[in-house]
Amino acid sequence: MPRLAATLVVLLPPLLLLSAAAALPPGGGGFGFEATLRHVDAGAGYTKAQLLARAVARSRARASTLQSLATLAPGDAITAARILVRASDGEYLMDMGIGTPPRYYSAILDTGSDLIWTQCAPCLLCVDQPTPYFDPSQSATYRSLGCSSPSCNALYYPFCFQNVCVYQYFYGDSASTAGVLANETFTFGTNATRVAVPSVSFGCGNLNAGSLANGSGMVGFGRGSLSLVSQLGSPRFSYCLTSFLSPVPSRLYFGAYATLNSTNASAAAGPVQSTPFVVNPALPTMYFLNMTGISVGGYRLPIDPAVFAINDADGTGGTIIDSGTTITYIAEPAYAAVRAAFVSQIRLPLLNATDASVLDTCFKWPPPPRQSLTLPEVVFHFDGADMELPLQNYMLVEPVSGGLCLAMATSSDGTIIGNFQHQNFHVLYDLENSLLSFVPAPCNLI
């Protein structure tokens, strides 16, 4: 019987810490902080249908950038890694203070890139943002970096001008930022866990193009040496994402606060599960996992695990977990197998997909009167871990067609596990042990 879901590179030295006492979690245990994450569209007055349409559109754009790697000539994948993410397609904003005294900004949190940057005055070319540009002359702790500094050498495109390190960063949506690479004191966390950290390397952008999606910069949480995770010397963070349709913000935990202990509200949530990260030399910043299969309705689909694997020849393919993509994109032919399983197990007419639709596994909704409906359970299988998705993490009502749709789409190159699928999971990135861990959690309550 089918199982059914419920009815509907250069290593930088760890930094010295200011306000260390304020950064200790209850009971001690080392440096860390908690932060609030806001969805980029929160509070903008969009309807639920508009929120969903905007999120799906951003996902399509971000995934198309990743898939473009498949068309590159051999040897170009490393260059493409530098411009993989799209600056305008972030999903969550994180507040942080820059300078002394601190000026507060909301930056796009991105697990797919490394650089921390904001727009700076004097701004020769800048894009709209909700806060004033950061003015280095008003901070007592701003220091531009020299061309021989380790941070400058860690840049993909370092450039030296009058003995000052100049950075350039290009994104997949033709957005870009360029300016001075500098060190500055950054302030993180909520009032109870606030901590100031000196000498964080960041980009002070004077020439910028593109869109910042209601933010004032970006903060990279990738695996490279310029990311916030690497620079703070406490290589672990976690997040618990509420539904992007919910007004309740999400939470980020860093360092000693990043733990899954006592996350579960009940034993029914299940145990913490862990799977190792996989390093892709062509895309070293991103978080790859070893996905081994997918089950639908209790049946393990006949998918060759090689469909989810990295291509050793050029670094294409593989499976990424990505906070900046909403829906999940599944590599062919795995997606075809998932779609076929849903079509065979759901007793509703299948809607015809339009050219403009990202979601093409959609059923007529609502069902006819007096017809009950059960939906097949979905499980993502990884090396050593199974992610059993709640119903609301893989089915949605698509605003254009009104159909009940699978919140997944096909990918011509690689698989991306999007944030829609791991909302209401507490997800821990443990770089020291190279593990991703997760457990179901009521993210609106913790």
Instruction: Give the active site residue among 110, 114, 173, 430.
Output: 110
Largest CA distance in the chain: 76
- Cβ atoms 32, 40 nearer than 8 A: no
Kind and range of the H or E run holding 345: helix 334-345
Query: What distance in Å separates the CA atoms of residue 277 and residue 323, rounded to the nearest whole number?
Result: 15
With residues binned 3-state (H G I as helix, E B as strand, rest as coil), the percentages for the chain, rounded to 5, are: 15, 35, 50
- For residue 122, cis peptide bond before it (omega within 30 degrees of 0): yes
Please spell the DSSP secondary structure of 353-392, one letter per residue.
PPTT-S---EE-SSPPTT-----B-EEEEETTEEEEE-GG
Please spell the DSSP secondary structure of 103-133, one letter per residue.
EEEEEEEETT----EEEBSS-SB----SSPP
Side-chain-side CA neighbours of 390 within 13 Å: the count stands at 15
DSSP 209: E
Instruction: Give the active site residue among 41, 114, 322, 430.
Output: 322
Alpha-carbon torsion, ordered 396, 401, 402, 405, to 10 deg? -20
Active site residue 322: yes
Query: In Å, how far from its chain's centre is CA 404?
Result: 25
Cα separation values, 128 from 42, 88, 90, Å: 18, 12, 15
Query: What distance in Å separates the CA atoms of residue 271 and residue 290, rounded to the nearest whole number?
Result: 20
DSSP 156: S
Q: What pairing do the DSSP bridges indicate for beta strands 195-209 and 117-119?
A: parallel
Could you list the active site residues?
A: 110, 322
